[in-house]
């Protein structure tokens, strides 16, 4: 659910921000347009690569796009704690919360 709800909410917030945009002011001083553009550029530069990389991964994935998109939305096999000790700690933490994970699943060795 998070993979659909979160991007939708972020997109709506971004669209609302653009829709309600007014030039930045500080008291009676209105900042010049170049300063506003610089601020938007710095803000967007930090997140712009997320959709760019996502689209490039989708476009370059071999095979039919539907199953490839579903595969790309899941964590890779190497995702998770790096060391055996950390994997065991994570397994213990998740088990204490009622989840059933094994070290094999945490390692991603399916």
> In which domain, by residue range, is 93 found?
79-110
- Which residues does 91 contact at the CB level (< 8 Å), separation at least 6? 101, 102, 103, 106
Same domain flag for 69 and 53: yes
**Alpha-carbon distance 51 to 41, whole Å?**
16
What pLDDT does residue 28 have? 93
Q: How many domains does the chain have?
A: 2
pLDDT tens figures, 30-43: 999 999 999 889 98
What pLDDT does residue 32 have? 94
pLDDT tens figures, 68-85: 888 887 877 677 788 888
Scanning the chain, the segments in alpha helix (DSSP H) are 2-19, 33-45, 49-60, 65-72, 84-96, 103-107
What are the backbone angles phi and psi of residue 61, rounded to the nearest 5°? -70, 130
> Which residue positions in the chain have pLDDT lower than 70?
1, 77, 101-110
What pLDDT does residue 109 have? 41
Flag whether 61 is in a domain: yes
Same domain flag for 62 and 88: no
Same domain flag for 69 and 94: no
What pLDDT does residue 102 have? 56
CA distances from 59 to 9, 65, 67, 75 (A): 24, 8, 13, 18
């Amino acid at each position: 659910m998070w993979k659909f709800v979160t991007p939708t909410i972020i997109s709506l917030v971004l669209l609302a921000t653009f829709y309600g945009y007014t030039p930045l002011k500080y008291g009676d001083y209105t900042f010049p347009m170049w300063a506003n553009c610089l601020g938007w550029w710095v803000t967007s530069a930090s997140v712009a690569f997320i959709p760019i990389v996502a689209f490039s991964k989708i476009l370059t994935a071999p095979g039919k796009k539907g199953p490839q998109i579903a595969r790309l939305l899941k964590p890779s096999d190497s995702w998770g704690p790096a060391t055996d000790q950390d994997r065991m700690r994570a397994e213990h933490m998740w088990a204490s919360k009622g989840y059933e994970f094994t070290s094999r699943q945490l390692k991603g060795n399916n």
